[in-house]
Amino acid sequence: MSMTTARLRRRVNRAGIFAILCLVGVVMLFPFVFMGITAFRSVDQYIAGSGFSFDSWTVLFNAIPVVQQLINSTIVTGGAVLIILAVSSTAGYALSKLGFRGSSYLFLGVLAGMTVPMQSIIIPEFVNVSQVGLVNQYLGAILVYAALGVPFATFLMTAYYRGVPNELVEASLMDGASFWQIFLRVMLPMGIPALVTVAVLQFIQVWDDLLIGLLFLQSPNVRTITVGLATLQSSRMVDVPALMAGSIVSALPAIVVYLIFQRNLVAGLTMGVNK
């Protein structure tokens, strides 16, 4: 009787968890369903709540240079992610394995950098970037994004490299390898899961960002897709179907990247648990 009761409780618990997950799934997916349906309606059809057409896509591509803005987003995001990966991987290796004097204090400084709100430093950043003439330049936005992303990425890479046995470094040193060779031939290949995690997280963060793009990429020639959608909303009467179509275009690359690398992302985020 007790075994039957315990089995019944397990089934009830599983059913309750499944119901909660279904509810969370519906809440999370509803905005995407609404966005997809609305994107294939005209304004009149949206108001009426029925019918489908491609008018919203025509309005979107006539209002903003979608292809050019997607290229701009790719350049800015790709450049920022490459810089973040290069800096965080080398810094994480140095902080975790080289053991130089003051490394612990430097690591605390990295942690402190993660706690600084972006909104509190965005104006000084804008002043500094404008003084060197990098406003409305790809490089200016790339450097700002990289500066904001490096602290978290460095923390993640440091935590990962600390889990790599020190014996590997010592054995490589005994074989005559330099610290730079150890990084390139041993640590970097072993850090691929963490690098993929950093790349995916930073790609999504930079691609979806609006505030920095609005401040540092104000020229129409260098606007990213998120900035383009913001200007679309402010420059004309609010066209909800066109905005939803633009939102699909903007969100799709980040979704595709996440779906492709989701296993690597989960493995990278749980690497501290598995070690």
| Domains of the chain: residue spans and CATH | 2-56 (no CATH), 63-274 (1.10.3720.10)
Q: Is pLDDT at 6 greater than 80 in this prediction?
A: no
- Residue 21: Cβ within 10 Å count: 10
Residues in Cβ contact with 33 at an 8 Å cutoff, skipping those fewer than 6 apart:
none
Quote the pTM value: 0.85
Percent of the chain with pLDDT over 90: 27
Q: Average pLDDT for residues 27-44, to the nearest whole number?
A: 88
pLDDT of residue 273: 47
Of 40-44, 176-180, 265-269, the one with minimum mean pLDDT is 265-269
Q: Is the pLDDT of residue 104 over 90?
A: no
Highest mean pLDDT among 32-36, 83-87, 162-166: 83-87
Three-class DSSP category at 100: coil
What does the pLDDT read at residue 271? 59
End-to-end CA distance of the chain: 41
